Chains A and B, each alone.
Chain A
Amino acid sequence: MMARLFFSQLWAVLWKDIRYELRSKQTWIGMGMFALLVLVIFNFTFDLHASTVTSIAPGALWVAFIFASLLGLGRTVAAEREQGMLDRLLLTPVDRKAIYLAKLLGNLLFIGVVEIIALPVFAILFNLPIWQGTTLLALIPIVLLGALGIAAVGTLFSVMAATTQAKELLLPILVFPLVVPVVISAVRATTLLLVPSVNEPPWVGLLIAFDVIFLSVSTLLFQYIVEE
């Protein structure tokens, strides 16, 4: 009964966020445009050769993803808090973990959509054969795991930053240092896909481990951060 209620409430908050975003189009279009612009700028900035592109491209991809993600994460929660809607949500007898997980899944969905849009552009701009063989199939889990790590920490801190006046500045300062392990693991795992190498640590395994840690800690801490 309790589990059913929990998932029903989680679904209600998630569905509301998706519906609201699809109608307002406030966040995901801006995130997508931002990610594409970063990729284009990286493409122009570096003198890419066949020998250097595989070492630069994964970094460019993940810089684009993390900046675009933070742009979106900051907006979704801040807008709800500014309008007083987060307080209204907290007035209801909803498990705070359900609110966190719904917000996290919503953010993950928006980041995922942005990544789906950005990946083909990335492949074309950097002339990378990600469509060949099983590269794309192996890249998608890495991209999703990286997005999960960023979203887990970002969702938690976006709620904290939303209460401050300098939220746009504070959110990246809080989140970037924490997601460094996720970003390093994701960049290295992506590089290994493009240029296979031996004697490398199990980057995907590390990515999964960081995700599990961030997700567990953030889920437990959310209640204390969101409530006074």
Chain B
Amino acid sequence: MSRPVKGTAAVQPLDLAASDEKTTVAMAIELSHLKKSYALKPVLRNIDLVLPRGQRLALLGANGAGKTTLLRILAGLSKAGSGTVFIEGLDSRYELQEIRRQIGFVAHQPYLYEELTVLENLLFFGQLYAVAQTRERAMMLLQRVGMERRSNERIRALSRGQVQRVAWARALLHAPSLLLLDEPDTGLDQNGNQLVQALLDEHTARGGSMLFTTHNLERALSWSDRIVILAGGRVVYQHETASLTHEELVQRYQEVVR
């Protein structure tokens, strides 16, 4: 399997797409026999999961099913107890910093600095990701999410939905090839949701992949190519979205999540 070249090369300016060299890897995510425990309590039990590049995967499950732990491991915030995690062909045990360059993260909390302005937040994160021409790229993304006129306002002066839009701009700033989204629809109005849908379409059309968690089954169906349900730290159900109706998903979800 060929891998992206390691290094600190800056993101190309005004390029929302993942770079060509990233597209040589077939799988965005490969998990094999992944286990994780906290204080001897198993949270993830023998997870095997793959996400081909360019695909969208919805991760469903009740609270405590292990969704957030799985996302934290994928994002490099937690270490796997055992098993292997490959992101874009990179081994999380040895190439974590390189993996972090490939990932964009949006959570249900925006995690932006409230005392900094919208633009200052993006410039700060742009510097951390070594994005070239950060200001131009930040302004372009703010325009894309409809926040360019609020660029000089502090985050604490914005509404929840507006902050979430800025969080989306921040997640796309370094042109990640994989988006990890933890209940990303929280706080968004209908326009916001349409915007996110469009951003995700653009991301996957350019070969990017995404994995997201949600409690909204309808959204899981409309945003994903495949659905995976976690229960008790295990994958208990997975199915292609194209051949799944909302009623079938609700029925399955109620069967496996108790």
Contact of A87 among B77, B103, B125 (CB under 8 A): B77
Contact of A92 among B8, B78, B116, B125 (CB under 8 A): B125
13 A–B pairs (Cβ distance < 8 Å), ordered by A: A9-B127, A9-B128, A9-B130, A16-B120, A19-B116, A24-B115, A83-B111, A87-B77, A90-B76, A91-B100, A93-B97, A227-B79, A228-B79
Q: Are B77 and A90 in contact (CB under 8 A)?
A: yes
Q: Smallest CB–CB gap between A88 and chain B, Å?
A: 4
Given A90-B77, A91-B77, A85-B111 contact (CB < 8 Å) = yes
Q: Is A2 an interface residue (CB 8 A)?
A: yes
Q: Which residue of A lies closest to B167 (CB)?
A: A88
Q: Which of B78, B101, B111, B120 has the largest count of A CB atoms less than 10 A from its CB?
A: B111
Q: Smallest CB–CB gap between B99 and chain A, Å?
A: 8
Instruction: Give Cα A92 to B128, complex, Å.
Output: 7
A-B residue pairs, 6 tightest by C-beta: A12-B127, A93-B100, A88-B111, A92-B128, A23-B115, A93-B97
Q: Are A93 and B111 in contact (CB under 8 A)?
A: no
Q: List A contacts of B116 (CB < 8 A).
A: 16, 19-20, 23
Instruction: Give Cα A224 to B205, complex, Å.
Output: 39
Given A20-B113, A20-B115, A228-B78, A5-B130 contact (CB < 8 Å) = yes
Instruction: Give Cα A12 to B123, complex, Å.
Output: 9
Q: List A contacts of B34 (CB < 8 A).
A: none
Q: How many residues of A contact B (CB 8 A)?
A: 27
Given A20-B116, A228-B77, A12-B100 contact (CB < 8 Å) = no
Apart from A16-B116, A19-B115, A91-B75, 12 more pairs, CB < 8 Å: A2-B8, A9-B128, A9-B130, A12-B127, A13-B128, A16-B113, A19-B120, A83-B111, A84-B107, A87-B77, A92-B125, A95-B97
Q: Smallest CB–CB gap between B185 and chain A, Å?
A: 18
Q: List B contacts of A8 (CB < 8 A).
A: 127, 130
Given A5-B130, A88-B111, A16-B8 contact (CB < 8 Å) = no
Q: Smallest CB–CB gap between B150 and chain A, Å?
A: 17
Contact of A84 among B100, B109, B129 (CB under 8 A): B109
Instruction: Give Cα A16 to B101, complex, Å.
Output: 21
Q: Is B223 an interface residue (CB 8 A)?
A: no
Q: List A contacts of B154 (CB < 8 A).
A: 23
The B86-129 residues at the A interface (CB cut-off 8 A) are: 97-98, 100-101, 103, 105, 107, 109, 111, 113-116, 120, 124-125, 127-129
Q: Is A1 an interface residue (CB 8 A)?
A: yes
Contact of A94 among B98, B107, B128 (CB under 8 A): B128
Instruction: Give Cα A64 to B47, complex, Å.
Output: 53
Q: Smallest CB–CB gap between B111 and chain A, Å?
A: 4
Q: List A contacts of B100 (CB < 8 A).
A: 91-93
Q: List B contacts of A2 (CB < 8 A).
A: 8
Q: List B contacts of A228 (CB < 8 A).
A: 77-79
Q: Which of A13, A23, A92 has the largest count of B CB atoms less than 10 A from its CB?
A: A92
Q: List A contacts of B120 (CB < 8 A).
A: 16, 19
Contact of B124 among A1, A16, A87, A93 (CB under 8 A): A16
Q: Which residue of B lies closest to A25 (CB)?
A: B115
- For A1-34 the 0/1 string (1 means CB < 8 A from B) is 1100100110111001001100110000000000
